[in-house]
Amino acid sequence: MLPRSFTEEQNMFRSAYRKFLEQEIAPNLERWREQGIVDREAFTKAGEQGFLMIWPEEQYGGMGDNDFRFEQIIIEETSRIHGGDWANTLHSRLVGPYINRFGNDEQKARFLPKCATGETILAIAMTEPDAGSDLAGMRANAKDMGDHWLLNGTKTYITNGINSDVVIVAAKTDPENNPYAVGLFLVERGMEGFERGRNLKKMGMKAQDTAELFFKDVRIPKENVLGDATKGFIYLMEGLAEERLIGACGFLSGAHRAFEVTREFTMERKVFGKPLSKMQNTEFKMADLRTEIDVAQAYVDQCVVAHNAGLLTSEDAAKAKLYTSELLCKMVDEGVQLHGGAGFMDEYPISRMYTDARITRIFAGSSEIMKLIIGRDLYSDKFVSFFE
């Protein structure tokens, strides 16, 4: 693999975070999968050591460093222990920045410090039973009652749905006149009318609590609205490039881990008196996969550079999300095949990697939606020739 660019401070951070994961997270993963939810202490322990939210200003409990490479390290190291069930990055780098970007000073001071310590766990609720990628089709709505908003609706497949203390809920605020008028509402645990459904059973990511959320005449104070209550759709679009980059980093890290697990197995497994790794078919398949993973890593690392410079477009991020999710699924499928019958056994890591990977081609925008975004861009007036 080509050399990668991390600062000395970031390399030290990686070493410290790896040690934290090995001591506090990895030993609990199996128990969390069995119980279907991560202990809240995972967030508070990470917060205590400064590993949960890096980017907030020091006054809000962070380091004040917005360099995405810190989160890239967190994602990669979490994948190393096969700990993607713990939705720490969703809390810290996907949901938290909405409060930072669109919240006022009072909201930042009220919410961010406890988010940084892990005392407050975050979630975001966009998806509904009849509205996934098509946000314009959402039915959740909020009515302006003068001194507060009245929120009604249902959300589903919400990560951190059980553990969350604050949920950013997207709801239409003028459904009759403008389907794109959406508000982002900070719904807090214990608000009357806010109820959680069951912890949904899933194909993979067993320890990640995923739930249905119900809102019936929930009274939302005006001070719990992020920014303009009609511009939430725009706010959500602004966060998509980073959301897809987060996904790409995680998917590619998962592919690296699946590759190494498969490599180790094929070196140990004997077939017809010699290691499976000595078979030409195995060498060719693994060579193809290694090449694709390394090329993808170069692209994703460059996306991180562009993102830090404020230059990452939603289209380029969509390419990263599309390619890495498809590559991860290809890698785990080949990994299971090269494991043979062992790959079908739950005790082998590749089996869980296979089931965990399948959702990656769906969430944060399905592969089909990514292709639609990329296709529309390359046939638009914004298209730039390689030769210009």
Active site residues: 243
Distance CA 28, CA 32 (A): 6
Strand partners, 170: 184
Q: Using an 8 Å Cβ cutoff, are 218 and 172 in contact?
A: no
- The conformation of residue 210, written as its DSSP 8-state character, comes to E
Following CA atoms 255, 256, 260, 266 in sequence, which dihedral angle do they give, to the nearest 10 degrees? 40
In our burial notation (b when 16+ CB lie closer than 10 A, e otherwise), range 69-96 reads bbbbbbbbbbbbbbbbbbbbbbbbbbbb
Residue of 49, 55, 126 whose CA lies nearest to 92? 55
Residue 191: closest CA among 149, 156, 233: 149
Residue 226 Rama label (left phi>0; alpha psi -120 to 50; beta): beta
203: its two tokens: 């194909």
